[in-house]
């Protein structure tokens, strides 16, 4: 009886290890696809020629307004679950509702950020890598003058 339970544990561990290896291989494949056109030369070419951005994103120049409208709707779609689970967390006030908000809200927030970046690129008709776009907000906040005008009596 004990030998069977040990064998079951060992078999389950083997299946789990094989599953983790499959997940790791899939992740590495997706990462390689992501990095394929991410060299500095490719990024510079996107910055120089906006039509390459449209081509890379699969957008025709005539579809710009529709694409921008769709991306704006996507932001609202990402916002709905955050509001729903946020309201639930406020009303229920237990750890499970907070965890649900965390697990649902994090990918939704990431979706909102990347969609806002794409909207910014399309509206300005100028490519700016996501990292520089995010850093531009930090620079803006440091440049703001402080309230009160800086003169004291």
Structural domain contains residue 98: yes
Confidence band for 152, pLDDT divided at 50, 70 and 90: very low
Provide mean pLDDT across the span 31-41.
69
Structural domain contains residue 81: yes
Backbone angles phi, psi at 58, to 5 degrees: 70, 35
Structural domain contains residue 80: yes
| Residue 125 DSSP class | T
In angstroms, how far is CA 56 from the centroid of its own chain?
18
Structural domain contains residue 15: no
Q: How far apart are CA 54 and CA 125, in angstroms?
A: 9
Structural domain contains residue 53: yes
> pTM for the full model?
0.68
Provide mean pLDDT across the span 108-137.
93
By residue range, what is the domain housing residue 47? 41-140
Percent of the chain as helix, strand, coil, to the nearest 5:
80, 0, 20
**pLDDT (tens digit, 9 = 90+) per residue, 71-122?**
999 999 999 999 999 999 999 999 999 999 999 999 999 999 999 999 999 9
Among the listed residues 72, 85, 140, the one whose alpha carbon sits nearest the alpha carbon of residue 111: 72
Looking at the structure of the chain, the number of domains it has is 1
At 153 the pLDDT is 42
At 102 the pLDDT is 96
């Amino acid at each position: 009886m004990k030998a069977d339970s040990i064998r079951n544990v060992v078999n389950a561990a083997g299946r789990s290890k094989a599953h983790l290896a499959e997940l790791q291989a899939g992740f590495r494949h997706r990462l390689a696809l992501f990095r394929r056109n991410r060299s500095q030369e490719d990024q510079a070419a996107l910055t120089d020629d906006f039509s390459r951005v449209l081509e890379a994103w699969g957008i025709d120049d005539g579809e710009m307004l529709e694409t921008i409208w769709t991306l704006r709707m996507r932001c609202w779609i990402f916002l709905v679950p955050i509001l729903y689970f946020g309201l639930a967390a406020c009303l229920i006030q237990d750890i499970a509702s907070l965890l649900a908000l965390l697990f649902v809200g994090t990918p939704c927030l990431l979706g909102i950020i990347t969609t806002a970046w794409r909207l910014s690129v399309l509206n300005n008709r100028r490519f700016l890598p996501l990292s520089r776009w995010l850093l531009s907000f930090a620079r803006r906040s440091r440049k703001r003058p402080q309230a009160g005008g800086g003169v004291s009596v």
